[in-house]
Structure 1
Amino acid sequence: MELNDKTVLLTGASGGIGAALAQELAAAGARLLLQGRDRPRLNRLLAGLPDSGRHRIIAVDLLMPGAVDGLVQAVRDAGGLDLLINNAGTSRFAWLEDQPAGDIHHQLTLNLTMPVLLTRSLLPCLRRPGLIMNIGSTFGAIGYPGYSVYCAGKAGLRGFSEALDRELAGSGVRVLYFAPRATRTTLNSPQVVELNTALGNHTDSPEWVAAQALQALQKQQQRRWLGWPERLLVRLNALFPALLDRALARQRATIAHYAGHPADKEISP
């Protein structure tokens, strides 16, 4: 898709991949509607964008009642939409039994339920041809210890993206799924940073990830997985999951240590 003069709604724009992607989109000539919870951070982002007067911030918490209706109204006020990027998300690195029910609900709602509801509500506002990009994760295809809830949300988002793209075939709207690997953002706790260092996991900068996302949009790549060997591991997990079972079993004690969960701890009956 040619992005010049296209109207884009980007959720989760106030930091990390979202803020870097806003820079890439603005440089490509897009008009941005930037959603985030933190108004001061959104204002700072807006001030640093090319042609900042062309863009608008929408400071709203997606988990609050009425958030979807507010975003739909903002899109209508802008005269419609060419591209929706569902980027807002969250994660918690912890064993399932160590996570309060509220944390589980928060992750699943923001990572899966809200993209589904927002997409449904904005489809009538999306011009043809139009694009929807859902920002997923390598963990949407590889179940990883300590991220069971996050994996569930991103796997659901991957399935939603694939199914909706097939539903909309011939309509002029395409649905893309873009899956980064570990990225250096504030979503990563110090324990996650230490774990990645201990295991030698590669991490990417938000700026590099955003540049790859822009390419995926311009080429309309339906599925894009970032990083090596992560792309290979996604394929192996789909074809030979037992190989990944054994590899991750060897790392389980290390992962559990950084998650603050003794590897030999048993769930009480």
Structure 2
Amino acid sequence: MNLEGCRILLTGASGGLGSAIAESLAARGARLALAGRRRDALDTVARRLRSMPAQAHIIEGDITDAAQRREMVESARAQLGGIDVLINNAGALEFTLFAEQDPATIERIVQTNLLGPMLLTREVLPHLLVQGEGRVVNIGSTFGTIGFACFTSYSASKFGLRGFSEALRRELDGSGVGVTYVAPRAARTAINNGTVMAMAREVKMNMDPPEVVAQAVVRALQQDRDEAYVGFPESFFARLNALLPRLVDRALRGQNAVMRRYAQS
């Protein structure tokens, strides 16, 4: 896909990864509708992009709310003159023991990471199908292929997003509309709090700066990739887990004990 002049609706644009993706897309000439819940953070991202210069519009909204999803899509279409690409990047995470996790938080994570992207895609899809071309990009995670202890709700939501991406891609085959699933490993962004960062250091978890993940997302979009896994050896273990999950169980046993200790602290 040629990104010059491409009209893109990007959710979660006010976060560390979202802003990095926005900047990488803007550098390639994309026209952006930046969606997120924090107006002040969106303003900061938009000012930076406009100074490049690039076209960046702001849409304040929450993808877990039906009326705001509809407004998000209509506003993006009005400001950009249409939508060529939807990037579902908004996400929520909590590092904790599942038995102790607040049910409201579980619902929020699944709503933000899975149901919101599915329903927002449903709002955008008819417009893409009428055009006969376009792409949906879902930002998943290595945790959506390997279930990680103490990230149970997050892993479940990302497993679901990966399944949604695969099924929708097959359903849309031949329509001109593609679906890309990008699975980064852990990223150094504010979604990971101090406890997660301390745990990651002890277990020697590999983490990428958001700019590295953003570049991978842009490459996947430019190459019309179906899937892209970011980082080695995590990309290898994701495939190994699909074939030999009990082997990965044993490999993670020591790490799981450390993670539980931090999750209980």
TM-score class, shorter: over 0.9
TM-superposed deviation, 1:210: 0.3
Amino acid across the alignment from 2:11: T
Q: Which residue of 2 aligns with 1:267?
A: none
Percent identity at matched positions? 45
Q: Secondary structure at 1:245's aligned position in 2?
A: helix
Distance 1:203 1:252 in 2: 17
Q: TM-score, normalized by length of structure 1?
A: 0.94
TM-superposed deviation, 1:239: 0.7
Instruction: Provide the aligned C-alpha RMSD in A.
Output: 1.1
Distance 2:202 2:73 in 1: 44
Please say if residues 24 and 218 of structure 2, whose CA atoms lie closer than 8 Å, have aligned partners that are also in contact: yes
**Following TM superposition, where does structure 1 have runs of at least 4 consecutive aligned residues deviating by more than 3 angstroms?**
none
Q: Secondary structure at 2:235's aligned position in 1?
A: helix
Please say if residues 82 and 128 of structure 1, whose CA atoms lie closer than 8 Å, have aligned partners that are also in contact: no
- 1:198-230 per-residue CA deviation (whole Å, 9 max, x = no partner) reads 011110000111011111110111111111110
Q: Which residue of 2 aligns with 1:74?
A: 75
- 1:4-62 per-residue CA deviation (whole Å, 9 max, x = no partner) reads 0110000000021100000011111011000011111111111111224x220001122
Q: Which residue of 2 aligns with 1:22?
A: 22
Structure 2 counterparts to residues 22-101 of structure 1, below 5 A: 22-49=22-49, 50-52=52-54, 54-77=55-78, 78-101=80-103
Deviates more, 1:163-172 or 1:126-135: 126-135
Structure 2 counterparts to residues 219-230 of structure 1, below 5 A: 219-230=223-234
Q: Which residue of 2 aligns with 1:112?
A: 114
TM-superposed deviation, 1:65: 4.6
Amino acid across the alignment from 2:87: I
Q: Secondary structure at 1:29's aligned position in 2?
A: coil
Q: Which residue of 2 aligns with 1:132?
A: 136
Distance 1:184 1:19 in 2: 13
- 1:133-185 per-residue CA deviation (whole Å, 9 max, x = no partner) reads 00000000001100110011000000000000000000000000000001000
Q: How many residues align?
A: 260
Distance 1:64 1:239 in 2: 38
Distance 1:142 1:252 in 2: 13
Please say if residues 64 and 115 of structure 2, whose CA atoms lie closer than 8 Å, have aligned partners that are also in contact: no
Gaps of 5+ in 2: none
TM-superposed deviation, 1:71: 1.1
TM-superposed deviation, 1:118: 0.4
Which residue of 194, 199, 208 corresponds with 1:190? 194
TM-superposed deviation, 1:189: 1.3
Gaps of 5+ in 1: 262-269
Distance 1:42 1:184 in 2: 19
Q: Secondary structure at 1:178's aligned position in 2?
A: strand
